[in-house]
Structure formats: structure tokens, C-alpha cells
Amino acid sequence: MKTKFRSTAILILAAWAPVAVGAEESPTTPEERTDSLGKSQLKEINADLKKLGADVDLAFVGDSITRRWRGEGNIEVWNKYWGSYKAVNMGIGGDKTQNVLWRLKNGQLDGYQARVFVVMIGTNNCWGKTTVTEDVTAGVKAVVDLIREKQPKAKILLLSILPVGEKPNPGRMTREAINTQISKLQGGPVEYMDISAKFLEQDGTISKAVMPDFLHLAPKGYEIWSEAIKDKVKVMLAGAEKR
């Protein structure tokens, strides 16, 4: 029985090993989302872009933190700050830098000209047991570089990754290190803002009123985000070239 068990175990491991190797991810290698959530949200963004037409004022690029502007309660904050602009929410829940790269390479930067892109991405690259901050930074840089390549007339507001967890923790330290690194991407059409501290209480904790799960934002969190960038966005829009 032991021999049979060992043989079975070896077969299982042999079958699993190639999958594990193939599943290794690179933050700079475009990767398509094949799950139903990713595909459905991709279609929704593409439909929104089609409705807006050739000219877009603001394009918010990101993951679920950006995506959830669409949620009940949060959409009112979106309308309050960004409703007067031709603005599009290009956030997909669960996206990493490589997923954003794939969709930006496959149509989401085509057929229109944006004046300003607001980019916040990278937190989903930080959930592994070990995160190489330089790799995540390279992924963020690849996203910024691709936008610059395909939308050379646009300006880019690159935002810091937001803090996570109720109290200071290693995950925050990882994200802070990435923020320090991506801040160096500023220059030319790219401006950087670190807004992470605005979501913290004086003692360094995060309130549930701001982030109910200490990751995603409540309406109050979206108010903080909007207030933090609204003036910068106005200035960038004023300086952006119109078609």
C-alpha cells in the first residue's frame, strides 16, 4: 500500500509541477484575464469608451480600488467630482500590473485621445509571501511607458499604492517601498502624488469608515482620494493638449 501511495503521490506532483512553473507571474509580462469577472468588466470598460467617443478628459486606470467607484454610495462621489468631465473608470477587480498591460495593449488605449490618465496599480502584486519591490515597480513603469507610447499627447497622474491593514504591518512597508521607487518615474508628462498618508489616522491606523475591510474604500475614502487630487487634475487638464 505504501508503494502504491508513493506512486500516486509522485504522479500527482509530476502533473502539478509544470502548472506551478507555468503559473509564475511577471509584473511586466502582459497577461490576459480569462475568468468571468475579468472578462465581463473588460467588456464594460470597452463599452464605456465607445460611448465617450474620440475625446476623453479623464481615464482612471487601476484595479478594484478604482473599479469600486462604480458601487452604490461611491458612484455619487464619482459624479460629484468627475461627473462634469468626460471621464471613464478603467478599473478591474483583481488586476495586477500584467493584467493592465494586456488590456492596454489590446484595445483600451485605441480609438480615442485622453487628456489625463490617473493611474493607481500594483497592490495586487504584493500579496505573495515574498514581493520583489523592484519587479512591481518595473510593472508600474511598464504601464506608464505604454500609456506614453500609445497616447503621447496625454498627461499621466501616477498615484501611490494605498496602505492596507488596520495597523502598521509588513504589507504596508512593501507598498511604501514601491511608492518610493515609482515616485522616480515622475518627469515629462508624468506627475506623481503620494496620497497614502491621507487615509491614515494620527496613530497610523485605518478607520473602517474610510476602508471597511482595510483595503477597499468607503464613500468617505473616495472623498479623501478625490479631494487629494482634484486641484492637480484641474491643472493637468488645463495644460493638456486638446485634439
Distance CA 167, CA 48 (A): 37
- Give the residues across from 116 on adjacent strands: 58, 155
64 catalytic residue (yes or no): yes
- Mind spelling out the 3-state secondary structure of 131-178? CCHHHHHHHHHHHHHHHHHHCCCCEEEEECCCCCCCCCCHHHHHHHHH
From the list 63, 64, 95, 160, the catalytic residue is 64
84 catalytic residue (yes or no): no
What are the start-end ranges of the H helices in the chain? 2-22, 36-52, 64-67, 74-82, 97-105, 133-150, 170-182, 219-239
Distance CA 208, CA 226 (A): 18
Q: Which sequence positions are flagged as catalytic? A: 64, 213, 216
